[in-house]
Structure 1
Amino acid sequence: MRAFKENMTGYAFISPFIIGFLAFTLIPIVVSLYFSFTNYNLFAPPKWIGLDNYKKMFTADPRYWQSLKVTLIYVFAGVPLRLAFALLIAMMLNTASKAVGLYRTLFYLPSLIGGSVAVAIMWRNVFGDLGVVNILLDLIGLPVVRWFGDPTAALWMLIFLSVWQFGSSMLIFLAGLKSIPRSYYEAASVDGANGFQQFLKITLPMLSPVILFNTVMQTIAAFMTFVPAFIISKGTGGPLDGTLLYSLYLFIQGFEFFNMGYASAMAWIMLIIVGILTVIIFTTSKLWVHYESEGGK
């Protein structure tokens, strides 16, 4: 009886998490899977249609393929640039300067507010025809860019915004850099290795598990990007669907066209795509991730 009471006390303490997980995660996942096989418009009971949503997605919806194309470009261009920039800043901040704490805070601020509507509106103004970016381009003699008239330029504007929000990756890289023993660099210096050689032979191998973690997390986050594309394109994905990210098109189908069944099918396909990419990253990591406990690559 006493053991039962102790168990019930434990269950009582974790019940908020269990209830929240069931109500806001597990049950919605199962329901969305069911909806993906139905014709559901939020105003009438769902009607079972089998695989029709998936057939339409792959064979009769060119905007779906455009959204997938735009998202893959956004992910494969934005994530490496973001991680490279984050690593560069982390290495610059990996010093014993008294002001380094202030610098870390300032560099992290964009990530704290980066997903907000206000920042997306600011970014839209910065890249406007008379915005700061075009003014600077004109001052240095380069042609101005119509960021909202060219689909490619508009997508790169979103990519630049994602790169600017590098703070979380930077802090993780910084923690990884702090864990690398200084004795390794001292020994390499004695052997005559320059800074670039030390970076290739010590920093990158020792930091590779952190790079793996950041790559996976930032890839997943990039696929879920919604607010910047919605605000900057005013919810249309324009110009010419150049900023029609997958999550934005999913939102349009579900909450503008009320094709909730179709949107649910899109969500499940995105889950599969992200899962496949994550498996590929982890599988290929055996070739480039170094774990110190293994004594080598």
Structure 2
Amino acid sequence: MAEKTAKHGGKGRIKLLWRDIKRNKACYGMIAPFMIFFILFTVVPVLMSLPMGFTDFDMARPPKFVGLSNFTTLFLSDKVFIRSIRVTIVFALLTGPVSYVLCFLLAWLINEMHPRLKTLFTLIFYAPSMANVYAVWKLIFSGDMNGYLNSFLIDFGFISAPVQWLTDGRYVLGVTIVVQLWISLGAGFLALRAGFQNIDRSMYEAGAIEGIRTRWQELIYIVIPSMGPQLMFAAVMQIVSSFTAGTVAQNLVGFPSTDYKAHTIMTHAFDYGWQRFEMGYASAICLILFVAMYLLSRLISKVLGKYTD
């Protein structure tokens, strides 16, 4: 009886889905090209990489099943991978929460501006996530006396000789974190901007009647509870960007970085996947990263769950 009910329930949901697609076929038609490419080039490769992590695959011969061999090698023999875990944790703890709070505060401040200024400042803060800013940052952190930062520090007497910001192991991770924070105002920032725009103005009036007087009280009792979905989306985006960051270090401090000081898990996967073509080993690295991001996303969903109900 339960099986029949489940079958009828499944068929009913499929019918409702088809009915919704027919009713909104124009909307579904507009998102269809993106969804097709997303499924083909994101979903399918991710699903293929999960079992590939348990194989020895070098792209020249068929995959050979090796069980947990890749994972035992990663945690017991691969010292660079262990170092990349530490670097990724430090990187994620510094860039993730700071960038998330920064996105929220900037979106809140921009929301208080004149409509024309809102558009201008949204573009200013979002543009770095779209542009190739590495050439500019290389000029700023150049290791000679003509580098903007070195020139400034020498002129004002803070240092007497140029600092090798991009090659000295003491500075490469810090430089990478600074640049990552600069370009991190991406989709999460836009989602929070949209969340502020969609708050019903009557809620502010009701809050004033209930005794809310300051902007901070509005933020705590009206804004944050009204932006649950946007807060969740921005949090997930920051988790993904902070854990999968590797492009910044590769373009800024080289690959590999000095003494692997800016070598993240994603960089390690890139090394084995696209430099050594050991796709089975690289897939195992990505699987570990995927599990870590999934668990952290579940934790965040529990924390922010009361705002999304």
TM-score, length of structure 1 as denominator length: 0.78
Give, as a single letter, the amino acid of the residue that structure 1 aligns with 2:286: A
The equivalences for 1:183-194 within 5 A come to 183-185=202-204, 191=211, 193-194=213-214
Give, as a single letter, the amino acid of the residue that structure 2 aligns with 1:155: L
- Unaligned 5+ runs, structure 1: 1-9
What residue is the counterpart of 1:128 in the other structure? 142
Percent identity, aligned pairs only, is 28
What residue is the counterpart of 1:206 in the other structure? 226
8 Å contact kept, 2:141–2:150: yes
RMSD: 3.2
What residue is the counterpart of 1:4 in the other structure? none
How far the C-alpha of 1:63 sits from its partner, in A, is 0.8
8 Å contact kept, 2:180–2:248: no
What residue is the counterpart of 1:275 in the other structure? 294
- Unaligned 5+ runs, structure 2: 1-21, 23-28
Residues 1:141 and 1:93: Cα distance change in structure 2 (over 3 Å): farther
Q: Greater shift after overlay, 56-65 or 40-49?
A: 40-49
What residue is the counterpart of 1:171 in the other structure? 190
What residue is the counterpart of 2:17 in the other structure? none
What residue is the counterpart of 2:92 in the other structure? 75
> Counterpart of 1:290 in 2: which secondary structure?
helix
Of residues 90, 103, 112, the one that matches 1:86 is 103
Work out whether 1:45 is the aligned partner of 2:62.
Answer: yes
CA distance in 2, matches of 1:200, 1:98: 27
User: How many positions carry a matched residue from both structures?
Assistant: 275
How far the C-alpha of 1:167 sits from its partner, in A, is 4.3
> Counterpart of 2:272 in 1: which secondary structure?
helix
Q: Greater shift after overlay, 262-271 or 197-206?
A: 197-206
8 Å contact kept, 1:145–1:153: no
Residues 1:23 and 1:79: Cα distance change in structure 2 (over 3 Å): closer
CA distance in 1, matches of 2:138, 2:202: 47
8 Å contact kept, 2:96–2:238: yes
Residues 1:108 and 1:28: Cα distance change in structure 2 (over 3 Å): closer
CA distance in 1, matches of 2:94, 2:121: 27
CA distance in 2, matches of 1:179, 1:263: 42
What residue is the counterpart of 2:74 in the other structure? 57
How far the C-alpha of 1:254 sits from its partner, in A, is 1.8
How far the C-alpha of 1:20 sits from its partner, in A, is 5.5
- Which whole-Å deviations, capped at 9, do the CAs of 1:186-245 have from their partners, x for residues lacking one? 566674733334333433333344222201122112222232121123221x22211111
The equivalences for 1:1-297 within 5 A come to 24-25=41-42, 27-94=44-111, 95-113=113-131, 116=132, 119-129=133-143, 130=145, 131-138=147-154, 142-143=158-159, 146-151=164-169, 153-165=171-183, 166-185=185-204, 191=211, 193-236=213-256, 238-286=257-305, 289-290=306-307
How far the C-alpha of 1:272 sits from its partner, in A, is 1.1
Residues 1:31 and 1:213: Cα distance change in structure 2 (over 3 Å): closer
CA distance in 2, matches of 1:213, 1:28: 23
CA distance in 2, matches of 1:128, 1:205: 45
> Counterpart of 2:196 in 1: which secondary structure?
helix
TM-score, length of structure 2 as denominator length: 0.75
